[in-house]
Amino acid sequence: MLGILTPCLRGADRDVVDLWRAHMCGACLTLRDRHWQVARATLNTDAIAASVLLEAQQAVPDMRVRAGRAALRGMRPAQVIPAEALSVRLAATTSLTLAAAKATDEVGEAALALSGRSRLRTSVARGVAGPLRRGASRDLAVGDALDTAAVITGVAGQAAVEQASTDIDEITAATEHACAAVFAATADLADRPENRAALARIGAAFGRCGHLLDAVEDLATDRDSGAYNLIDATGVTIDELEAECLRLHRTIAEEIDGLGLRDDRLARALVVRGLRHSITDTFAGRSTGSRSNTRTVRGYRTLGAIGVALCVVGPQTPAADESEDGWCTSFRKQCCDCADCCDCGDCCDCCDCCDCS
């Protein structure tokens, strides 16, 4: 959703690593098969977490299909979740919805002079917002559960809120509501109404935490460019934000304990451990004002990759790293080795080298 999770599966059971790959590559192929090739550039680990949560609530796991050999998987095939499954369809729709919301927000910030970003970036955002919005609404069953139009509209008004308010609760509200909608939709699609309220609370906490982490990550760059940043706008301190993020993390961990999940191992590795890694990485460089390497250029390169791809129909493809160490190290590199598989639009230009049919 926000691209904040840095999952670490080091030491995980082999079947948990295989489950991650099944969701990751399955969601990427779903974007290709149900939307369009370049839509794969929008996928991120947060959207995959929604897919994992949905399947974990189902009484029976999703079936698996064989995906063809991929060069960046060492020319090995993989067992993935098929594009017909609700879990990976939710990941795909979530990716497109949040990408559309982000692009629309970029345009709104530029219109209100809150953005210090280049005209080219704004132009790209303006160009991709429409196609992304249409893609997000294409899967009617998932779109209805997620209410994609409401999510996009809510986030699209973020710039106006930032211009008028200095209250953190008001500033983060749209992000909280968007993420709450995604997490709650996993319960609706899995037909587990007893989980819905807790998942909505988890999503809201996740969204708020992500918004605050983004503010810390972007602080130095925003100050250099003169762009809006929540920290300067509200006067909140870095220490206060760290304490709040840790509180939100505890809330999420406690709420997950109460969920009825068939298998919670991967969900915990992603949402609990993954978020904790992001918090640790983000605040590690706060004393020097430096940016963590974890998500350094995610927003710019992902948005840029989508824009270029829509113009020239250039492909973005998945890949995976078989080694467990790769899951930990790849998220700390500015130039990735594609262990992030489906997020290749973020930091590398991967050719369409997968035989995924």
Mean pLDDT of 212-233: 93
Instruction: Kindly report which listed range (24-38, 176-190, 331-345) carries the lowest average pLDDT score.
Output: 331-345
Within a domain: 141: yes
> Which of 136 and 314 is assigned the larger pLDDT?
136
Tokens found for residue 67: 């995906």
Mean pLDDT of 344-356: 35
**Range of the structural domain that residue 105 is part of:** 14-347
Within a domain: 268: yes
> For 113, how many CA atoms within 13 A lie in the half-sphere containing its CB?
0
pLDDT class of 287 with cuts at 50, 70, 90:
low
Within a domain: 64: yes
Predicted local confidence at residue 256, as pLDDT: 96
Within a domain: 4: no
Predicted local confidence at residue 335, as pLDDT: 29
Within a domain: 1: no
* Placement of tokens 């973005």 in the chain: 316
Q: Supply the DSSP symbol for 338.
A: S
Predicted local confidence at residue 115, as pLDDT: 64
Total structural domains within the chain:
1
Tokens found for residue 335: 């130039």
Within a domain: 304: yes
Instruction: Kindly report which listed range (199-213, 260-274, 334-348) carries the lowest average pLDDT score.
Output: 334-348
Predicted local confidence at residue 350, as pLDDT: 35
Mean per-residue pLDDT of the chain: 80
Q: What is the CATH number of the domain that holds 226?
A: 1.10.600
Within a domain: 152: yes
pLDDT class of 342 with cuts at 50, 70, 90:
very low
Mean pLDDT of 126-144: 89
pLDDT digits (tens, 9 = 90+) for 236-272: 999 999 999 999 999 999 999 999 999 999 999 999 9
One-character DSSP codes across 57-114: HSSSPPP-EEEEEEGGGTSEEEEE--TTSHHHHHHHHHHHHHHHHHHHHHHHHHHTT-
Spatial CA neighbour of 256 closest among 246, 244, 266: 266
> Which of 170 and 122 is assigned the larger pLDDT?
170
Assess whether pLDDT exceeds 90 at residue 326: no
Instruction: Kindly report which listed range (91-95, 170-174, 209-213, 312-316) carries the lowest average pLDDT score.
Output: 312-316
Within a domain: 357: no
* For the ranges 110-124, 214-228, 275-289, 318-332, the one whose mean pLDDT is highest: 214-228
Predicted local confidence at residue 4, as pLDDT: 80
Predicted local confidence at residue 51, as pLDDT: 97
Predicted local confidence at residue 356, as pLDDT: 42
